A and B are shown apart, each in its own frame.
Chain A
Amino acid sequence: GAVVSQHPSRVICKSGTSVKIECRSLDFQATTMFWYRQFPKQSLMLMATSNEGSKATYEQGVEKDKFLINHASLTLSTLTVTSAHPEDSSFYICSARDLSANVLTFGAGSRLTVL
């Protein structure tokens, strides 16, 4: 079945630094990937839709300059949290849809802690 690889799984950084999270579709091509954020004991909140070769589409209230998304190839999307602050600490999860099966598949998630 479709596999989405996401790393790092855990990252701790200092305030003011930037952190990059990678999301790869391993056995299928994904023109579109999705980035979600999840706070403890809450549901997944869609942050943005990553489009291969074009700009990402951000959800209302998500700062595009804070959360930079790049989708440079059909198998890779990256999320960069810029100038991170403690309130950016969260669980970030990427996903992609394997169109052959029409199933949305998720990466294992990245837990970001900003000190």
Chain B
Amino acid sequence: GIQVEQSPPDLILQEGANSTLRCNFSDSVNNLQWFHQNPWGQLINLFYIPSGTKQNGRLSATTVATERYSLLYISSSQTTDSGVYFCAGNTGGFKTIFGAGTRLFVKA
């Protein structure tokens, strides 16, 4: 099956700082998504981004499908951005596989 590698595994930011999270796939993927898991465990869809670039407020994401990676940008980070960020995708079947996540803590 596909392998999903996320980096960095942990990240501590000062409020207001910017960051880039990366997701590498071992094979071509479909339906790539970025999720944020809040402290209560709820997974929130941030982006559905199989290719190209999307922006939503302070967040943006870019997927380069031909090179099997995706990036999530967080600008002007806030304490509420803390949590775990996951990327996930599938290879044409129904099963969606998750990376190990990036655990982000934003300090006030």
Q: Count residues on chain B whose CB falls below 8 Å from chain A CBs.
A: 20
Q: Give the docked Cα–Cα distance between A91 and B42 (Å).
A: 11
Contacts of A95 in B (CB 8 A): 43, 96
A106 touches B98 (CB 8 A): no
Contacts of A38 in B (CB 8 A): 41
Q: Count residues on chain A whose CB falls below 8 Å from chain B CBs.
A: 22
The interface residues of chain B, by DSSP majority, are classed as: strand
Report the tally of A-B residue pairs with Cβ distances under 8 A: 51
Assess A108 versus B41: contact at CB under 8 Å? Given A43-B86, A101-B48, A102-B48. yes
B96 touches A106 (CB 8 A): no
Assess A103 versus B98: contact at CB under 8 Å? Given A43-B86, A44-B86, A93-B41. no
Q: Give the docked Cα–Cα distance between A34 and B94 (Å).
A: 9
Contacts of A34 in B (CB 8 A): 94-96
Give min CB distance, A30 to chain B, whole Å. Answer: 11
Interface assignment of A49: CB less than 8 Å from any CB of chain B:
yes
**B97, B98, B99: most-surrounded residue (chain A CB, <10 A):** B98
Considering only residues 87-115 of chain A, those with a C-beta below 8 Å from chain B are: 91, 93, 95, 97, 101-106, 108-109, 111
Considering only residues 34-91 of chain B, those with a C-beta below 8 Å from chain A are: 35, 40-43, 45, 48, 86, 88
Query: Which one, A44, A91, A103, A109, contacts B48 given CB within 8 A?
Result: A103
B95 touches A46 (CB 8 A): yes
Interface assignment of B14: CB less than 8 Å from any CB of chain A:
no
Q: Give the docked Cα–Cα distance between A53 and B43 (Å).
A: 27
Assess A32 versus B94: contact at CB under 8 Å? Given A43-B99, A104-B31, A104-B33. yes
Chain A residues with CB under 8 Å of chain B are: 32, 34, 38, 41-44, 46, 49, 91, 93, 95, 97, 101-106, 108-109, 111
Chain B residues with CB under 8 Å of chain A are: 31, 33, 35, 40-43, 45, 48, 86, 88, 94-101, 103
What are 12 sample pairs from A and B whose C-beta atoms fall under 8 A apart?
Answer: A32-B94, A46-B95, A49-B94, A91-B41, A93-B41, A97-B31, A101-B48, A103-B33, A105-B45, A106-B42, A106-B43, A109-B43
